[in-house]
Structure 1
Amino acid sequence: MVVETIVGFAKKLGIKTIAEFVHSKEVFDKVVEMGIDYSQGYYISEPKPNIS
């Protein structure tokens, strides 16, 4: 309920949302269902080293 409220509030203000710690298909599916704009986490990709 808290996340749904935050996402709805952000959308009304035109702010993009990002889901972190997306580690499984189940979590990703819920993120998509909730209308969150971007996702990051092990389900998407493992962390890459920062090469300067």
Structure 2
Amino acid sequence: MTTQLAEALEVSLDYLVRSTDVLLKKNIVSKILDIQKLKENDRQHVFALPDTN
């Protein structure tokens, strides 16, 4: 039930039960999980992008 509530609110379960003050929206968590599936070299490129201002 708690997991369903977190999904409905599009927040992490940790945020819902106040284990963290960081609000992690569902779409951001999904992107992070997708990045974790990448090969190491590709992950490095993804993480380097925000630093290229």
Short-chain TM bin: under 0.3
Per residue, is there more helix in 1 or in 2? Answer: 2
Bigger RCO (CA 8 Å, 6+ sep): 1
TM-score (norm 1): 0.25
TM-score (norm 2): 0.25
Per residue, is there more strand in 1 or in 2? Answer: 1
Larger-gyration structure (1/2): 2
